[in-house]
Amino acid sequence: MRYSKIIGTGSYLPEKVLTNVDLEGIVDTTDAWIQERTGIVKRHIAIPGQTCSDLAEPAALNAMAAAQVKPNNIDLIIVATTTPDQVFPSTACIIQQRLGIHGCPAFDIQAVCTGFIYALTIADQFIRTGAANCALVIGTEVLSHIINWQDRNTCVLFGDGAGAVVLKRATEPGIITSKIHADGSYKELLEVPAGIGVGFDAVNNPLYMTMRGNEVFKFAVRTLERIAEETISSANLTRDDIQWLVPHQANIRIIQATARKLNLPMERVVITVAEHGNTSAASIPMALDVAIRDGRICQGERVLMEAFGGGFTWGAMLVKF
């Protein structure tokens, strides 16, 4: 049997930091309010001209170094992003060129905050079917480019960053199972209502994110509880078999609710939302990289990763290290 296993992780954050106190001078909000409602203290923001491929490249190099693989070992590149550099070519092709990789499939997928789970699921299938042996999977975002900095409902939540993993063929399952879903009937609750098809311009229809926060919050809590249970059950395991939860870093209250449902103490949950904010497709791989590098997640442990995003999309993956 062919399986896949994560053999290296990497991440990268832009140098510019925007704190809650900084935001107090931009919109009508306070540090205390942001921390109480979201758990966020600060976020990293790309400087003008800095693209998601600029963040993805060092994250990829860090993951490849950790995995001890060279560019010629990579035979698949998948990038999850909502904020690509260009309409085309794909950000994956841009990164492929930067890394000196030639000829292998390289493409982007767009599932917003669930994008990394989607991308990793696709890469796992490529490896299981024999279409690839060593995949580079990246989540990278410059969400600051689609934020209205006068909208306090969204501008306090999001940040920029990139995370990457190297996934390689294995004889035993590293990726145990994954479940991904979507329901487009909820699209108006969290979206950028502009684009190539419907048009956009700087004045009348800018490329800004809009969100109906309370409705998104309630739906996310319910959905993440269900997807966690579905994923664990599909592997014929129980909640007691899970050592770590690496959730999408959207809101500390959503993370706490999911941990309670799984009966996991918070010390077994990887939390980076205070330092990173919500970085969409980049949040899970960045949090995973933090916990791998500081030694929390150890060999042989099972990790549940789960996310919810605009679309709506949602998904979870169970991994053994």
Q: Which of 165, 176, 157 is nearest to 220 (CA)?
A: 157
Strands 190-191 and 175-182: unpaired
- At 289, the pLDDT band (50, 70, 90 cuts) reads very high
CATH superfamily of 176-320: Thiolase/Chalcone synthase (3.40.47.10)
Find the mean pLDDT for residues 100-129.
98
d(CA 155, CA 34) in angstroms, rounded, equals 11
Give the pTM.
0.97
Numbered ranges of CATH 3.40.47.10 in the chain: 3-171, 176-320
DSSP assignment of 26-56 equals: TSS--HHHHHHHH---EEE-PPTT--HHHHH
Label residue 300 by pLDDT band (50, 70, 90): very high
- Structure confidence at residue 196 as a pLDDT band (50, 70, 90): very high
List phi, psi (to 5°) of 44.
Answer: -100, 140
The pLDDT, as a whole number, for residue 132 is: 98
Q: What is the pLDDT of residue 204?
A: 86
Q: What is the pLDDT confidence band of residue 171, given thresholds at 50, 70 and 90?
A: very high
Indicate the helix (H) or strand (E) that contains 124.
helix 115-128
Q: What is the mean pLDDT of residues 21-50?
A: 97
Span 248-253, average pLDDT: 96
Query: Cα separation of 288 and 292, whole Å?
Result: 6
Amino acid in position 103: G
Beta bridge partners of 195: 199
Tokens encoding 257: 């609710």
Percent of the chain, pLDDT > 70?
A: 100
**Catalytic residue numbers?**
113, 248, 278
pLDDT at 202 over 90: no
Q: Which helix (H) or strand (E) holds 254?
A: helix 252-261
User: Tell me: the pLDDT tens digits for 58-109?
Assistant: 999 999 999 999 999 999 999 999 999 999 999 999 999 999 999 999 999 9
Tell me the helices (H) and strands (E) count for the chain, helix number first. 10, 13
Whole-angstrom Cα distance, residue 262 to residue 245? 9
Say whether pLDDT at 203 is over 90: no
* CB distance 39 to 274 below 8 Å: yes
CATH no., domain 3-171: 3.40.47.10
Residue 177 — very low, low, confident or very high, per pLDDT cuts 50/70/90? very high
Cα–Cα distance for residue pair 227/306, rounded to 1 Å: 8
